[in-house]
Amino acid sequence: MKNHLVQLQELGLRDYKETWDYQQKIFQEVIDSKIRNRREATSKPTQNTLLLVEHPHVYTLGKSGDLSNLLLTEEQLAAKSATFYKINRGGDITYHGPGQIVGYPILDLENFFTDIHKYLRLLEEMVILTLAEYGLKTERSEGETGVWLDVGTPFARKICALGVRASRWVTMHGFALNVNTNLGYFDHIIPCGIKDKAVTSLHVELGKKEVSEKKVKEKLLKHFSNLFEAELQTNQELKAL
């Protein structure tokens, strides 16, 4: 039985490691459920979850990433009130921090489609459609996961990073969209291991001091629901059950 219901949890400002552990717990529960279904020859629906969160300053390095792309020592990290983790997603190094919308879809893709390439492209499309509502033309850059502006020019810059892990068609990790992000923190890494390309944010592109993150989230969720043909169930609805 395919379950298109996705439980939406907005976690607010949350420590990266705490959120990673929470992701891993949900991820493992879904995998265990799938294994149990196979063992018992049953077809009980598996759970889908979308976590939206904002992190204190943190740098994360994917499993195939190069540590030399972090340009800070442990002492310098501490001086900037930042932490660092090597994690089990794809991709290289990135930064998370205040003013950035981070989304972690923990989906059983067998509820939707079994195609990781399509999954990544739909996450990108969700962001592209969202930013189009702000009058920005963003696109993909061939061979470079994420969402960019002015691809193919000397002014190419990334506004959203993606990195995922999948096992038994269950996903974790996800996307990070720069909305009101302090871009100075990207100066201390080679973002995603790509040299000579800049990073930007929505408030910089719009020339605004601050953009409503609540409204950006609403647009992201609308496009997520449409693209994945998913029905979102909110925190409040969950508490009422």
Active site residues: 192
CA dihedral (119, 124, 127, 130) positive or negative:
negative
Q: Is 227 annotated as a binding residue?
A: no
How many Cα atoms sit within 13 Å of 66 on the Cβ side? Answer: 10
Task: Give the C-alpha separation, 82 to 74, whole Å.
Answer: 9
Residue 92 assigned to a binding site: yes
How far apart CA 29 and CA 51 sit, in angstroms, is 15
181 carries a ligand binding annotation: no
| CA nearest neighbour of 23 among 171, 160, 230, 161 | 171
* H or E element at residue 206: helix 202-206
103 is in an annotated binding site: no
- 99 among the known binding-site residues? no
Q: How many Cβ atoms sit within 10 Å of the Cβ of residue 184?
A: 10
Residue 185 annotated as binding? no
175 annotated among ligand-binding-site residues:
yes
DSSP assigned state of 149: E
119 is in an annotated binding site: no
Whether 112 has a binding-site annotation, put simply, is: no
**Residue 96, annotated as binding a ligand:** yes
| 155 marked as part of a ligand binding site | no
Cα–Cα distance for residue pair 153/47, rounded to 1 Å = 42
Beta-sheet pairing, 58-61 with 139-141: unpaired
* Alpha carbon distance 79, 113 (integer Å): 45
Question: Which residues sit opposite 67 in a β-bridge?
Answer: none
* Angle at 51 (CA atoms; ends 228, 5), nearest 5 degrees: 40
21 closest CA partner among 97, 106, 95, 98? 106
The reply, when asked if residue 31 is annotated as ligand binding, is no
**Residues of the binding site:** 89-96, 161-163, 174-176
**Residues of the binding site for substrate:** 89-96, 161-163, 174-176
